[in-house]
Amino acid sequence: MFGLLGPLEAWSGEARLDLGPPKRRLLLTRLLVEDGHPVSADRLCDDLWEGSPPAGAVSSVHSHISRLRAVLEPGRARRGQGTVLVSGPAGYTLNAPPETRDSTRFEESVTHARELLSQGRLEDARHEVESGLGLWRGAALADAANHAFAAREISRLEEIRMAAGELNATVLLQQREYDRAALIAEELTTRSPLREAAWALLMRALYLAGRPAEALRRYETIRTLLADELGAVPGPELSGVHVAVLRQDLPAPEPVRPPAPQASPGARAAPPARPARPARPSVIARPLVGRAGEVARYEELLGDAAEGRTRWVLLSGESGSGKTRLAEEFASRAADLAFRVVWVRCGIDTASDEEEEAENDRFNPLGQLLSALYPQIRVEGEPEAIARDLAERLARQPTICLIEDLHRAGRRFRRLLGMYATLLRDVPLVVVCTTQDTDDVGLRELLALLVRQSRATLLPLGPLTVEDVHELMRLRSTPFDELMGSEPREREAVALHRRGEGNPFLITEILELPGDQRTGPGARLPASVIRVLRARMDQLDQRVLKMLEALSVTGGELDPELLVGIRAITREELLSLIDAAVIARMLDWEEGADGRMGRYLMPELAREVVLHDLTPARRQMLHAAAARALGELPHRHPAQISRHLMAAGPLVARDDLVAAALRAGERCADDEQHGEAAVWFDHAAALADDPAVQAEARRAAEAARRRLAQAQQGIGHPCDPAGMPGDDSGWAGPEPRVS
C-alpha cells in the first residue's frame, strides 16, 4: 500500500517500509505518478534534478532502483525478475494497482459520498466523505511538492480535496448543522482564498445559523480580495447568495428524499470509475513560476525564524501578480518544517478609530490574529503585556503568520501591528504581509517602520519574463503542443507575454485555451480575463471610456491630434483622460528606441475587451468620426482615411467610398506600394456603379500588379503584399471572440 496524501509512505501488511533518503522517495513518487507506465532513465534524471542532472545521475538512479526493489520485494531472488518494479526497453515501470494508493481510496470515497447524497442518505454520505478526508496526512505528494512533474497530480488531488470539503459542508447544511458547516467552509476559504464556491457555502451557513451580518462581511472580504488579486468581481453564484442574504430570502436546503430501495439496505454499490481530472487547477496547486529568487530569500528567513529570530516579509504587487499564490507557497514550506500556520485577512478601511476599536473581535484583524494564534490569549490589554504573553507562547512552536491585504487594514490595526513589530523580536516567528502599492500615507509609514525597526524584507512582484512564460507553457503542454518546434514555441511565448502584459493571472488564464486560440488571428478572450479588465474599466468615468473606445478603433496607438478631432476636446482635457487611463492600466507608455519619440499604447487585451463591448453601430460611428477627423488633418495618408470609411459601413455613401478607394490606390502607387494599390483599386471596382469607373479601376489594378511582379523579379524592392492592410494605421481588425 502506498500513501500519497502527505509525505510518501509504503506498507507491506502492517509493516511500514523504510524508503530511504529524499531522492529515493522522490524517485518512487515519480514512478507512482506515472500510473503504471514506463519512464526512461533519461526522463527520470531530468525530472528528479529539474532539468539539470549531474554527471552521475544515471548511475544514481540505477542504485536507487536497486534499493527500492529490495525494499518493495524483499523475497525476490538476487538478480531475479521482479514483478513490482520492473525494467524494460521503454524504462522502469512500477506495477502498483490503483487500489493500493490512498489517493484512489480517497477519490472513491468522494464519488460514493456524492452518490449517497443524491439518494438522500445524508448520514452515510457524511461518514463516507469524512472517512475519505481522514486519509489526508498533509500536502499531496509532499516529497515532490516543488517538482514540475508532480504539479498536475497535486493540482488534481487538491481540487478533489476542496470539492470534498464543500460536499461535507453541503451535507451538514442539509442536516441543519449550520455552525459546523460554517466552520468547515471557513477552513476552505482559508486554504483557497479565491475559491468562490467555498465563500458562497460560508455565507449560506452563516445566514442560516442566524448570523446574517457576518455573512455580509464575508461577502465584502471576498469581493475586495477578488478585486485586489484578480481585478475581478464575484460570479453569479456568489452574487446570488449575497442578494438573497440582503433580501433575507435564503431558504434552508431541502434534503434529498431517498428513492425506493432496490436492493438490500446494507448493500453498497460498486464505486464508479475514477472522476475525470478537473479542467482547471485549484489556486493552491497552480504552478509557481518566475519567483525562484523570492522563494530562495524566504528560505533564508525561514531558517532564521526556526533559530528564534523574528522575520518580516512584505509582498507587494499589482492585481494578479501572484501575491496570494506566493504566500501559500511560503505557508506550505513552513508547514513542512512543523511551523504553525495562521492566516488573517484585512477588510475595508471604512470605520473610524473609535468604531474600529469598538468592533467585535470576530471582525477586528487584531482580534483575528491573536485569537488565531492562541484561542485562550487575552485580546484586550496593554500591548506590552500581550506581547510578553505572545512571546512566551510563540517560543513553544515556530509560527508563520500571513496577513493579507494590509493596505485594507484600519488605522488602529496598522498602529498596533507596528507596535508589536518592535516588541516581538527574538521569537521563532515569520510574518508575511501582502499589499498593493497605494498613495496611503499611513500605509507607507507602517512599511517604513517595519523596514527600519524590524529589518523587514521587501519582495516586490514584477511581471513575468518571456522565459517564465515559456516555462509556464512547458508545464501546461499537451502532446499536441509538444509537436510544435522550439522556434514557434519561443515566438508564441513572446506573443503571449505581450498579450498578457507579463501578468501571471492573465497569462495562466489564456493558457487554459487551446493552443490555436491563445494568440494570433484565432485568439479568443477567456471570460475570466474579460471580468478582470472590466473591473479595471469600472474605475473610469464615461469620458475616459469614450476616449478608449475611439483609441481602440484607431489601432490602439494614441494619436493626440486624431483623438482631439474625434472627441472634440482640448489637449488639456485629453491629458487628464490619459492620466486616468494609465492609472487604471488601460494605457501604457512605451519608451522610444534609436532616438524615436515614445508613445502611448493600449494593452492588447484591454483593446480587445473594449472592441468586444462596442456594438456594431457604435463601432461604425467611431470609424466615421475617425475618417472625418483624419480628413481635416494635414499630411494624412488617403489609405488611412479609406480604411475607416470602409469600416463605417452604411454610414458612408457608396460614391464616397469609391472616391476614397481610388485616392488611396493612387497614393499607394505613387509610393511604389503596388500590392496595396492593387487592393484599393479592386475595392473601387467592386463598389462602383458606373461601368466607366469600374473599367478604369480594373485597369489601374492590373497595372499595379504588373509593377509589383516586375519589382519582385528585379532587385527585390520592398512592396506590401496584396491584401487588406494591417492595423498600424488604424484598421480595427476582427472583433475578438469570447471563450
> Which spans in 431-570 are helix H?
441-454, 466-475, 479-482, 486-499, 504-511, 527-537, 542-553, 560-567
pLDDT band per the 50, 70, 90 thresholds, residue 331 = confident
257 vs 47: CA distance, rounded Å? 50
Burial class (CB in 10 A: 0-12, 13-18, 19+), 644: buried
**Dihedrals phi, psi of 302, to nearest 5 degrees:** -65, -40
**Angle at alpha carbon of residue 40, lines to 60 and 76, rounded to 5°:** 65
Residue 378: what pLDDT? 54
CA distances from 694 to 412, 647, 679, 698 (A): 78, 21, 14, 6
All cell numbers assigned to 354: 473609535
Averaged over 608-629, what is the pLDDT?
Answer: 92
Taking Cα atoms as reference points, which of 187, 163, 139 lies closest to residue 285?
139
Stronger pLDDT, 297 or 52, i.e. the higher one: 297
End-to-end CA distance of the chain: 43
Residue 466: what pLDDT? 93
**Residue 380, helix vs strand vs coil:** coil
pLDDT band per the 50, 70, 90 thresholds, residue 714 = low
Burial class (CB in 10 A: 0-12, 13-18, 19+), 441: exposed
Averaged over 694-721, what is the pLDDT?
Answer: 78
Q: Name the DSSP class of 79.
A: T
- DSSP per residue, 394-451: HTTS-EEEEEE-GGGS-HHHHHHHHHHHHH--SSSEEEEEEE-----HHHHHHHHHHH
Residue 380: what pLDDT? 59
124 vs 223: CA distance, rounded Å? 35
Averaged over 724-736, what is the pLDDT?
Answer: 40
Write the pLDDT tens digit of every residue in 549-579.
999 999 999 999 898 888 778 888 888 999 9
**Residue 539, helix vs strand vs coil:** coil
224 vs 218: CA distance, rounded Å? 10
Least confidently predicted of 164-178, 499-513, 708-722:
708-722
Contact 72, 10 (CB under 8 A): yes
Residue 229 has pLDDT above 90, yes or no: no
Residue 355: what pLDDT? 42
Residue 231: what pLDDT? 72
Averaged over 312-340, what is the pLDDT?
Answer: 87
Taking Cα atoms as reference points, which of 725, 729, 666, 733 lies closest to residue 697?
666
The reported pTM is: 0.60
All cell numbers assigned to 469: 512564460
Taking Cα atoms as reference points, which of 703, 735, 737, 708 lies closest to residue 723?
708
